[in-house]
Amino acid sequence: MEGGEAGGLLQQILSLRLVPRLDNGTLHSSALNSFSDMWYGVFLWALVSSLSFHIPAGLLALFTLRRHRYGRFMSVSILLMGIVGPIAAGTLTSAAIAGVYRAAGKDMIPFEALTLGVGQTFCVLVVSFSRILATL
């Protein structure tokens, strides 16, 4: 993917158009057609939404635990989890979602990529704040 294509794809994903747009009487579809486009869209939104939750949490932990002998390192682990989690698990789940869309022959609009990416982060937050893992 060249630099111009990557910038165009990023702009297409971030546009969140629900309907195709008209340019000079020509209909331009904003649907994500290929596997890599769908994967990148879902992965990008999962990463952005995860960072939007983990950066404030890490800064709050850094502020409140700055004088604690070992607690200050907890903020580093929170920030790392906000980056490593979506890169590791988000890559696989985004690929699975894009694979299902491709196998079904369905195109994905950018708003669906947003919904599925933020949905992944929401599921991680629900499991993190629940006591499900403690009962296993």
Could you tell me which residues come within 8 angstroms of residue 66 by beta carbon, excluding any fewer than 6 positions away? 72
pLDDT in tens, 29-70: 567 888 988 898 899 899 889 888 888 888 888 888 888 888
Q: What is the DSSP letter of 136?
A: -
Q: What is the DSSP letter of 75?
A: H
- One-letter identity of residue 101: Y
Could you tell me which residues come within 8 angstroms of residue 91 by beta carbon, excluding any fewer than 6 positions away? 43
pLDDT in tens, 58-113: 888 888 888 888 887 888 887 888 788 888 888 999 999 999 999 999 888 888 88
Q: What is the DSSP letter of 108?
A: B
Are 90 and 120 in contact by the 8 Å Cβ rule? The answer is yes
